[in-house]
Amino acid sequence: MSKLLNRSFSHIYVEKQVANNYITKNILSKFKDSKVIYIDDYKEVFSGFDQNFSIQKQSQKIIIAEKKDNFIYQGSKMCHDFNNSAFFYANNIINCLFDCKYCYLGGMYPSSNIVVFVNIEEFFYEIEKISKSYKNIYLSYGYDTDIPIFENIYPFIGEWINKINELSNIKMEIRTKSNIFHNVLSNKNIDNVIPAWTLNPQKFIEKYEKKTANLDERLVSIKKVQDMGIKVRLSIDPIIIEGDFLKEYKLLIDKIFNFLNHEFIRDLSIGFFRIPNVYLKNLKKHSNSPIIFNNFEVIDSIATYPLKEKETAINSLINYLNRFIEREKIFII
């Protein structure tokens, strides 16, 4: 992952209207060898036809832009709201430096170039307004990326934490597959932040979660956060039905609970591979990963494994998890 975090970008596209933004200047100062191209609208580069998401992954570019609307979204029905009265998500970065072969981003966007929206004060204004309408809000930040790995480009997490600390009724989840989150959170007041990690058996990480931290590295990072006295959220997701998968996931559960401090696990969610069917169709146009060519069922426009297969596996995994964690802390997506 170190190469990923210290990479350079050959080209950086900048919308003219944000050329003098302080975040824009900060980012450009870190990439002095990159060719900077000024544009009128990020969609000129990002939304063009005849792009190949997978090929672009080999040489991603940064696009610095201003977001015009839809700063905060209602939470996706494919995610859990963890019993909060309101669930929202926010992104000021689109796309990811990791290369997970099942990721919906490859079916959602025409380009894998990284879009960074730098007008974060408008995001903050919107979340302040929303906070006045609900008693408790669960906010997922960085939903369309793995936000901690961008902290060396610009420390967005720090600015979001400062804002959320002003709004006592919001809990902000930040989820990652990295091994650096403990460094990002160090020396910050994160009472209203839920650090979360997505975990999978190492076999599936190697096969489908390219460029991410390996399982051991993630667990070490989680333990370091626990050692700060912070409770963490764990997510075994997506569960991949392949080979003797139940054995693989039970070994994963053993490893998690043998290594981590049980008292500092806030909760744990499990979810099977699922994706909007329209995104799945788009993914198949440029990817040959075997995971996306399963015989999925499509229910309410969501492609996933057949219900009977999932029910059998869920029952088995929950029974196994109950050895280590209370049932009320287990959430099924």
Tens of pLDDT, residue by residue over 137-146, are: 999 999 899 9
CA distance 164 to 166: 5
pLDDT tens-digit map of 191-220: 999 999 999 999 999 999 999 999 999 999
Q: Which domain holds residue 52?
A: 2-332
Smallest CA-to-CA distance from 200 within 251, 141, 265, 261 is with 251
**CB-based contact 154:23 (threshold 8 Å):** yes
pLDDT tens-digit map of 156-187: 999 999 999 999 999 999 999 999 999 999 98
**pTM for the structure as a whole:** 0.93
pLDDT at position 187: 86
Q: How confident is the model at residue 108 (pLDDT cuts 50, 70, 90)?
A: very high
pLDDT at position 7: 61
Residue matched to tokens 């070490």 = 220
- What's the rounded mean pLDDT across residues 265-271? 97
pLDDT at position 80: 61
Q: How confident is the model at residue 85 (pLDDT cuts 50, 70, 90)?
A: confident
Does 223 have pLDDT greater than 60?
Answer: yes
CATH number (domain holding residue 250): 3.80.30.30
Does 82 have pLDDT greater than 90?
Answer: no
Give the chain's domain count. 1
CA geometry: angle at 255 spanning 97 and 214, to 5°? 20
pLDDT at position 119: 98
CA geometry: angle at 324 spanning 148 and 197, to 5°? 10
Is the model more confident about 244 or about 81?
244
Residue matched to tokens 């200047």 = 25
